[in-house]
Structure 1
Amino acid sequence: MANHSAIVDPGSFVENLRSLRYREVLMSLATAAVLAGTVVLYPGADRVTSTLSAEVTTGTLALVFLVAVVAGVVKGAIGFGYALIATPVLASVIDVDPVVAVVVLAVPPWMINVFQVGETNTGLDYVRREWPLIALAVVGTVAGVTFLAEFRTGPLVPLLIALLILAYVAYQVLRNFVVVEEAHHPVALGGVGLLEGFLLGAANLGPLLPAYLHTFERDRERYVGGLSMVFAFVFTVKIAQSIAVGLLTPPLLWLGCAISVVTLVGLFLGTYLRRLGVDETWFNRAVVGMLFVIGVNILRKTAPKVFAGAF
């Protein structure tokens, strides 16, 4: 995959877009889709408030949008983490059913990942090489959304995931960010993809695949591009299925598009930071540090519920 300068040349971008270059077309498609959704689907302030079943103030929305920008910076810089940062905030700051937060925040990751597939120039070669991973992730997503529509995601599975992620962080720190050369096992990768799809579909909880791929892939563009390609398929299926089963209504789809538009600011900034060519040590520490924060946060939220139910 080609490296691209951190400096943006608008003239070259427009020229490449007119020539229907893959990279520029996908980046523009992702941006245009959420901009159009924000304008076309706007339901009116009253309906947005009634849909959320909460007294949504300007300050509350401003906080949600600020968090979306920060999450966009993280995703743009290291390739994952958006939904894991933004979902708990939307669920807690705006007093909504957690299911609403999960389905609304399927839209910004779709936009970001389609954008990053184009930005990293990740194409059909990756799909042909990793199609079992993508297929199993899609299967897991369908199962996860079905589970979300019928049940509620309990705390035990996230707790186990948090412990697994923290163990991985400890391993990386103790081994000084080791890379396991040529140990990429297709069966293990497929299993991770299946579970990753299920967790993203059911709870927007998806640190397993980033952690697994980080063990085997330290080229930043391939790492970010590969994650984005898998996630683009996952969130496309999740959005389509959520609409089909009635979880993602037009007002909620509008809210997801509106948050996506604000997220673009953070995405552009994070992408710029990644393309500045920060050294590998910083990138590895950023990825593992993000996984540590995610693991601790999941543990903090789920452990009391699990142990309270056990006694």
Structure 2
Amino acid sequence: MATQDTHVDPAQFLANLRAFRYREVTMALAALAVLAGAVVLFPGAANVTKGVQADVGAATLALFVVVAVLAGAIKGMLGFGYALVATPIFASVIDPTLAVVVLAVPPWMINMFQIGETDTGLAFVREEWALMLLAGVGAVLGVFFLAEFSAGPIVPFLIGLVILGYVLFQLLGNFVTVEEAHHPVALSTAGFLEGFLLAVSNLGPLLPAYFHTFERDAERYIGGLSMVLGLVFTVRIVQMALFTGLLTAYRLWLGCVVAVVTLVGLLGGTYLRRVEVDERRFNWFVVGLLFVISLNIFRKTIPALFL
């Protein structure tokens, strides 16, 4: 599974940035947006934890940092997994709705960054416009659902079942790949459900699983996911900020801070992906990660639902 050149050249990056090359400009804007948010929206030292509504001490903050860096590294390597890793852990410490809202910001930054890093642009939009449209519609409906209802543990539990089913499907089929066989209707349906589930619970394994089955080019796999997820998270953030009371200035600041920390893991994971991407190892890593995530989801939801 080939990737682009693994050589890291900061001088060339800066030269391309000054020349306003699409790739470098997109990556820089994504990082600068959350850096600016973390500085401009700073609520003051006395109010740093005022909106968390939890007993957040040094140990909890350290846990958040470690989780954000780890999740960013996984996203950098695989193209997905940030929300799947971070959301269940954050939601176990702070209010779940707060976790879903705050953790909309780091994935937005990551996906914008990876759109540039993989050089994915308008060609993908023209090719997969139906997928993009339905993913956006699903996100809009999901935000309204989140603002009006409390889904409780049932939605994460169902997502866990989907993840586990996909893991078994891949293992029993020896990492089956159906090259160039994806159907526009099926892909668009996966995009719609991805947008809705991400908005409601910040957990969206359907589209990554679909792409993992039908798309084996690493750059297109990661770039395509980033394009769709970037749209979904943009819709979510704008809608939550302007049309609901979910995204306050404090929550936006907190999301930007988490995103800044996430940059460390994202850059490390991106470098590791570019050093070597072996398809067999890539498959095992994806499936193994999904299996662990499904177990963690069940650990949180089964007691609440059935015990």
TM-score interval, smaller chain: over 0.9
Per-residue CA deviation, residues 66-85 of structure 1 (Å, 9 max, x unaligned), is 11000001000001111111
Alpha-carbon distance in structure 2 between the residues aligned to 1:58 and 1:165: 33
Alpha-carbon distance in structure 1 between the residues aligned to 2:80 and 2:297: 16
Contact 1:47-1:251 at 8 Å conserved across structures: no
Q: 2:226 is matched with which residue?
A: 228
Contact 2:79-2:222 at 8 Å conserved across structures: yes
Q: 1:135 is matched with which residue?
A: 133
Q: 1:306 is matched with which residue?
A: 305
- The 3-state SS of whatever aligns with 2:276 is coil
Alpha-carbon distance in structure 2 between the residues aligned to 1:305 and 1:237: 31
Q: 1:172 is matched with which residue?
A: 170
Indicate yes or no: 2:56 matched with 1:46.
Answer: no
Contact 2:155-2:201 at 8 Å conserved across structures: no
Alpha-carbon distance in structure 1 between the residues aligned to 2:117 and 2:203: 24
Q: 1:102 is matched with which residue?
A: 100
Q: CA deviation at 1:222?
A: 0.8
Alpha-carbon distance in structure 1 between the residues aligned to 2:63 and 2:180: 44
Aligned identity (percent) is 65
Alpha-carbon distance in structure 2 between the residues aligned to 1:192 and 1:59: 38
| Unaligned runs of at least 5 residues, structure 2 | none
Alpha-carbon distance in structure 2 between the residues aligned to 1:79 and 1:279: 15
Indicate yes or no: 2:17 matched with 1:6.
Answer: no
Per-residue CA deviation, residues 39-85 of structure 1 (Å, 9 max, x unaligned), is 10000133232211233223321210111000001000001111111
> CA 1:3–1:169 in 2, change beyond 3 Å: closer, same or farther?
closer
Q: 1:150 is matched with which residue?
A: 148
Residue pairs, 1:185-264, within 5 angstroms: 185-244=183-242, 245-264=244-263
Q: CA deviation at 1:3?
A: 4.5
Q: CA deviation at 1:4?
A: 2.7
Q: CA deviation at 1:251?
A: 0.9
Residue pairs, 1:262-277, within 5 angstroms: 262-277=261-276
Contact 1:71-1:86 at 8 Å conserved across structures: yes
Comparing 149-158 with 264-273, greater Cα deviation is found at: 149-158
Comparing 26-35 with 288-297, greater Cα deviation is found at: 288-297
Q: TM-score, normalised by structure 1?
A: 0.94
What is the CA RMSD across the aligned residues, in angstroms? 1.4
Q: 1:71 is matched with which residue?
A: 71
Alpha-carbon distance in structure 2 between the residues aligned to 1:150 and 1:123: 35
Alpha-carbon distance in structure 2 between the residues aligned to 1:77 and 1:69: 12
Matched pairs, number = 305
Alpha-carbon distance in structure 1 between the residues aligned to 2:55 and 2:134: 40
> CA 1:81–1:12 in 2, change beyond 3 Å: closer, same or farther?
same
Per-residue CA deviation, residues 100-126 of structure 1 (Å, 9 max, x unaligned), is 110000000000000000000011000
Contact 2:87-2:203 at 8 Å conserved across structures: no
Q: 2:81 is matched with which residue?
A: 81
Q: 1:61 is matched with which residue?
A: 61
Q: CA deviation at 1:159?
A: 2.2
Comparing 165-174 with 128-137, greater Cα deviation is found at: 165-174
> CA 1:58–1:304 in 2, change beyond 3 Å: closer, same or farther?
closer
Q: CA deviation at 1:186?
A: 1.1
Per-residue CA deviation, residues 106-165 of structure 1 (Å, 9 max, x unaligned), is 000000000000000011000111111111111111111111111112333332222222
Q: 1:114 is matched with which residue?
A: 112
